[in-house]
Amino acid sequence: MKTIKQALLGATSALVLFTAAPNLAKADELTLCWAAWDPANALVELSKDFTAQSGTTMKFEFVPWPNFADRILNELNSGGKLCDLLIGDSQWLGGSAENGYYVKLNDFFDKEGIKMSDFADAAVNAYATWPKGTPNYWALPAMGDANAWFYRKDWFAKPEIQAEFKQKYGRDLAAPATWDELKQVAEFFNGRKMDGKKVYGAAIFTERASEGITMGASSALYPYGFKYENTPGKYDMEGAVNSPDAVAGLEAYKALYKCCTPPGYTDAYMGESLDAFKSGQVAMAMNWFAFFPGLYKDEKVGGDKIGFFVNPKEKVAASTLGGQGISVVANTDNMEGALAYIKWFAQPDVQKKWWSLGGYAVHKAVLTDPSFPESQPFAADFLVAMNQVQDFWQEPSYAILLQAMQKRLHDYVVADKGTAKEALDGLVNDWTEVFKDDGKL
């Protein structure tokens, strides 16, 4: 199999990128703000090419995920000048557009020949547009992502494990394709001794403070049929948010939490999921595609020991959207330089290198390359996931909407308060109040 660099870059070198690059406007210094995680490190490496071509020094402000929203949104709200460029969550688009925090990029894209049709449709809709469904662009798609799964392929492959599973369930042990199969496999491994120690079935998201349990539970809710509205854009949530299918999805998530997660796993998100898997505590774990390159390289659990699978379906195939677009902060003092960075980043060759370094490019020149599905062991699943993603509200009031869902889900799943139907009925009431306050109901 070709290496990813061979597959996507071929003979392209930094020198070729330099000589082929457009003339770039110069700003002495630019600060790019993002979350602190593996892809951010890849972007630092990638941006060295921009500095070499433009003479602009790149600075980076990377904030740990639990503090990212509070830190950066406070910066935007206060009119601060820390960030010239911002890779912000998709949910921030509505508020940042309507509050004038981001530069609208339509005229710039037209002038520079940057076409949104060159990027994956789902990514453009999720990471660039506001209002949704309109060609109003406030960001360039930068980092495709979705919630997916990884598993101990070496444990699954053991002949005695395979034989026992088939005798018990009448099918071969493999990466789960449905949520029913996921729970079955988790129960099979839960409490079992593997590599000399007791293990658990799965690590999932239960974190309360920011977004964790919502991102985790929606990975069950969406496949079971949860919808935010009966009619897009009408905020008619009754019978969608709390439908029988949505109730079944939330019950399935709680059942997986109760049966098969490690002890004390009541407030877990990205880091805890990674730790549980890397330490050999669990057979399977959910997390964002962004972490998969690092997991595959891990000496203890990567390589031949790890496998990947897209979020299991149930009634429909669906994955929880992650990822972000890159925006120019309207308050920047380096507008020309910030726009030059966007122009540079949008180039197909730069996007190919971005993927090769561990960033998740969503440019069609990368995704439609015939060699892409084989370029990484999780690349084919990434293509599937990005064609079935669903996202949380991107409304200006998204933070209030999110905190309501966080509380309702955590109270039900982790704290054992009430029923799934009561939790979702309460969520409809919470959200109805928010949208009434916003004048949308």
* DSSP string computed for 352-368: HHHHHHT----BHHHHT
Segment 163-192 shows an average pLDDT of 98
Quick one: 110 and 163 in the same domain?
Answer: no
Whether residues 308 and 382 share a domain: the answer is no
Length of the chain (residues): 441
106 in a structural domain: yes
Q: How many secondary structure helices (H) and strands (E) does the chain include?
A: 20, 11
356, 226: one domain: no
Instruction: Tell whether 167 and 35 lie within a shared domain.
Output: no
Mean pLDDT of the chain: 93
180 shares a domain with 74: no
Q: Name 341's bridge partners.
A: none
Map tokens 């002495």 to a residue.
Answer: 28
- Lowest mean pLDDT of 21-30, 309-318, 403-412, name the range: 21-30
pLDDT tens-digit profile of 9-49?
332 233 233 333 445 555 689 999 999 999 999 999 999 99
Range of the domain at 178: 147-320+394-438
Q: Quote the distance between the C-alpha of residue 10 and its chain's center.
A: 28
Ranges of H-type helices in 78-105: 93-98
Residues 97 and 216 in one domain: no
What sign has the CA pseudo-torsion 69, 70, 76, 81?
A: negative
User: Is 151 domain-assigned?
Assistant: yes
Do 304 and 369 sit in the same domain of this protein?
A: no
- Residue 366: which CATH number? 3.40.190.10
pLDDT the model gives residue 27 = 64
Same domain, residue pair 337 and 398 = no
Q: What's the average model confidence in pLDDT over 405-421?
A: 98
Within 8 A by CB and 6+ apart from 195, the residues are 280
- Indicate the pTM of the whole model: 0.92
Residue 262 CB partners (closer than 8 Å, separation 6+): 200, 203, 276, 281, 282
The whole-angstrom separation of Cα 142 and Cα 145 is 10
Which of 351, 374, 390 terminates a domain? The answer is 390
Is residue 19, in this structure, part of any structural domain at all?
no
Domain count, the chain: 2
pLDDT for position 215: 98
Buried/exposed code over 136-171 (b: 16+ C-beta within 10 A; e: otherwise): ebbbbbbbbbbbbbbbbbbbbeeeebeeebeeeeee
- Out of 371, 390, 409, pick the residue that ends a domain: 390
Q: Are residues 297 and 169 in the same domain?
A: yes
Give the Cα separation of 77 and 73 in Å (integer). Answer: 6
Interior angle at CA 42, CA 364 and CA 341, nearest 5:
65
Q: In 3-state terms, what secondary structure has residue 168?
A: helix
Would 10 be classed as within a structural domain?
Answer: no
User: What is the token pair recorded at 297?
Assistant: 């390289």
At residue 133, the pLDDT reads: 83
Tens digit of each residue's pLDDT (9 = 90 or more) over 98-113: 999 999 999 999 999 9
The predicted structure's pLDDT at residue 338: 97
Statement to judge: residues 375 and 425 lie in one domain = no
Q: What is the mean pLDDT of residues 219-228?
A: 98
Residues 6+ apart with CB under 8 A from 254: 412, 413, 420
Same domain, 351 and 425: no
Query: What is the structure's pLDDT at 248?
Result: 98
- In this prediction, residues 67-82 reach a mean pLDDT of 95
Q: What ranges in 150-192 are assigned the alpha helix state H? A: 153-156, 159-169, 179-189
Do the beta carbons of residue 288 and residue 147 sit within 8 Å? yes
- For residue 251 the two structure tokens come to 């019950």
C-alpha to C-alpha distance for 176 and 188, rounded to whole angstroms? 12
The Cα–Cα gap between 238 and 441 comes to 13
Torsion (CA) 282, 286, 292, 294 in degrees, nearest 10: -50
Q: What is residue 1's predicted lDDT score, i.e. its pLDDT?
A: 30
**Is 104 among the domain residues?**
yes
13: in domain: no
Residue 332 lies in a domain: yes
pLDDT of residue 19: 31
Same structural domain for residues 112 and 132?
yes
Residue 263 sits at φ, ψ, to 5 deg, of -60, 145
**pLDDT, position 25:** 53
Instruction: Report percent pLDDT > 90 for the chain.
Output: 93
279 within some domain:
yes
